[in-house]
A = this chain, B = another copy of it.
Amino acid sequence: MQTDEQEFRMKLHRPMMSAIALGISAAVLLLAAAAVDAASDSARPMVRIAELEIDPEQLDAYKAILAEEQEASVRLEPGVLMLHSVAIADNPNHIRLLEVYASRDAYEAHLKAPHFIKYKTSTEKMVKSLRLVETTPILLCAKGRAGEPATCM
């Protein structure tokens, strides 16, 4: 049980303390430090939200091509850390992606990857609108595979 004063003093340092307590790797700690660094630096993670509206008649085809591109990007590209896609439940031709790249350079490399170029050209006429929203990550936490601890960065 902590006093209110202790709690207040610890507030800003808790995320980093929790990360250490989890015993996550030095590489992930470096990434987390980079994420909160306000300096403009091509080596810090780049996290973005993409908001797309898809032609309803081509929605199933679009989702299949998107899923293939996500899987290939995260599997094959060292700098593509996460690609999560969802459809808005009550407006399913509205798609949102959360994209996490190790750096801006990793993102630039992704734009040149054959699977991305294939996705971009084959979905060009399916996408009615695309809005790219730059973000600053606060904390990205995911459960590990069976038996492994959670990881935050």
Using a CB–CB cutoff of 8 Å, the interface residues on chain A facing chain B are 11-12, 14-15, 18-19, 22, 25, 27-28, 47, 49, 60-61, 63-68, 70-75, 80-90, 92, 95-96, 98, 133-146, 148-152
Contact = CB atoms under 8 A, between A and B. Distances in A.
Q: Is the interface of A mostly helix, strand, loop or mixed?
A: mixed
Contacts of A142: 74, 81-82, 84, 142
Given A83-B141, A84-B140, A135-B87, A64 B18 contact: no
A79 to B, nearest CB: 9
Nearest to A73: B141
Given A11-B65, A61-B11, A68-B14, A74 B135 contact: no
